[in-house]
Amino acid sequence: MNPIWLILMLLVPIGGALLVAFGKERNAYRDAYFASIAALVPAIAALFEFDFSHAGAFQGLWSVEWLQPLGLKLSIGVDSVALLLILLSVLLGPVCVMASKTAITENRKLYYAWLLVLQAAMVGVFISRDLLLFYTCFEFTLLPMFILIRMFGSTNRVAASTKFFLYTFTGSLVTLAGLVYVVKFAAERNGSWSLDIETLTTAAAFMSPTEQALVLGAMLAGFAVKVPLFPFHTWLPLAHTEAPTAGSVILAGVLLKLGTYGIFRFAIPMAPAAFVEYAPMIAVLSVIGIIYAGLICWVQDDIKKLVAYSSVSHLGFCVLGLTALNATGLSGSVLYMLSHGFSTGGLFLMIGYMYERYHTRDMRRVGGLASKMPVWATFMVFFAMASVGLPGLNGFPSELLCLISAFQADAGWVAAGEPGAAGVTLGPWYAIFAGTGMVIAAMYLLIMVGRICFGPLTEPDGHHAHEVLPNDLCVREIVTLLPLAAGCLIFGLFPGLLLDSIQEPVNQTVRLVENAQELSGPRPGAGPDAGYLYIEETGAEGATP
């Protein structure tokens, strides 16, 4: 695949941002709109050119040397998981731009420029094959989000943006420390410095269990905050409630996935033994998150906070799948990453459109809107059902696979020897408790839908109609919702489209962990430096630049 598409996917939004920033204020929307549509072109080209029969191999590889003695070079490449996540980010670009047309009335240049920069940064994270680009873009996503929340958010935006930035940033710094340790370790082993992710992954599995544990802890510090995993989630409700609609959509749709992607790409391959050992602990945190966040959703009156906590709950399933470390779990988790963006993005858009008309998110003051906004209510019920995990929509296959994987990851329950469990022992209780999350999800989502859509019409006092927008959704708003709704439906009925594509990277990751396990020897009682000799690379067809 030609790497030019990846480079273009990075450069077009930046070009668009510059165009918006140096153009006129009143053209800001138009310029941003065209730039985001233009960014779709290289994405679709990349999709066509990607060779899905070798989905696990990194394609579109390209690199340029920067400082050779220090091993600093810029390299890019994607496998299917990264490509699909990029497509999600690129798809959300025009959706967010279009959704903001009437919501943002001042400082439009600033807004659209930073939105486009954010998109470029997200793409950068997924196309990076070296640590420098990855970390730079990873951190760089914080800045536009900070500005978007700070300048265009609701009443409590200052606190929300500050907390979001500082919390995530601190975590990422600890991650950086962990990653730098891996770099140093790899340099000592290989004799030369390199930041290439492939090299680092190969070398990192040779770290001693203690080292791996520390590196894992460091990496998780940043990724867990971003996911967010249970005790580190408190920035999320605040950031989501105060962010503008597009900000929430991107935050929920893609930025949270940076954390889980980081775990999938870095934490698991680079600290496999430690991950297997600590997976139950992480799984416990994720299950607690599922139930805890779900119950908190139930008592919320602020509808946006409700959906924000529901994100915490849903991503608990995602992480549960990751911790199971078998093919089902990792597939389910990656599928969850992809499908959550559609359903929760849709919910945030619905809330945003409602907010534009009523200027309140409190369900005690506004409700029963199906009488006045039937199209809106239909979409709302649709996205709520996708979020609940109704079979036929995209929440279901991912949830199903994640829960099954938790059962599978206990050798005692499996009938005919399942060697591929990679040694993680989770067991039935994880899935049973996580399953109650399904019931809780039904509770809070249906209660939300029941209050906001159904029942007698309640409008806040002194409410009058919007000067530009009609009562129900206008065409532009429906156009933003259609791709998301279509995605929910199509990926619910044909998850094979995604599952087949991600199968190989998932299997490769499982094999990598298994190999590391086998050669690490029996862990309990063994000495600290027992038995990791070499890693046999099976089936990894990625070319090392």
The tokens of 436 are what? 């109650």
* C-beta of 507 vs 520, nearer to other proteins: 507
Q: Please, what is the minimum distance in Å from the beta carbon of residue 443 to other proteins?
A: 5
Task: Report the alpha-carbon distance of residue 248 to residue 510 in Å, rounded.
Answer: 33
Task: Report the alpha-carbon distance of residue 67 to residue 353 in Å, rounded.
Answer: 49
* C-beta of 103 vs 490, nearer to other proteins: 490
Residue 539: Cβ within 10 Å count: 11
Q: Please, what is the minimum distance in Å from the beta carbon of residue 326 to other proteins?
A: 6
Q: Please, what is the minimum distance in Å from the beta carbon of residue 160 to other proteins?
A: 12
* C-beta of 28 vs 431, nearer to other proteins: 431
Residue 347: Cβ within 10 Å count: 29
Q: Which residues contact 538 (CB under 8 A, 6 or more apart)?
A: 511, 515
* C-beta of 42 vs 397, nearer to other proteins: 397
* C-beta of 144 vs 397, nearer to other proteins: 397
Element (H, E) at 78: strand 72-78
Q: Please, what is the minimum distance in Å from the beta carbon of residue 80 to other proteins?
A: 9
Task: Report the alpha-carbon distance of residue 79 to residue 64 in Å, rounded.
Answer: 19
In 402-414, which positions are buried (b, 16+ CB within 10 angstroms) versus exposed (e)? bbbbbbbbbeeee
Q: Please, what is the minimum distance in Å from the beta carbon of residue 502 to other proteins?
A: 9
Element (H, E) at 66: strand 59-67
Task: Report the alpha-carbon distance of residue 65 to residue 74 in Å, rounded.
Answer: 6
* C-beta of 416 vs 468, nearer to other proteins: 416
Question: What's the first-to-final CA gap in the chain, in angstroms?
Answer: 15
The torsion angles phi and psi of 128, rounded to 5 degrees, stand at -75, 140
* C-beta of 10 vs 502, nearer to other proteins: 502
Residue recorded with tokens 């997200």? 122
Cβ proximity of 205 and 245 under 8 Å: no
Q: Please, what is the minimum distance in Å from the beta carbon of residue 57 to other proteins?
A: 14
Q: Please, what is the minimum distance in Å from the beta carbon of residue 53 to other proteins?
A: 8
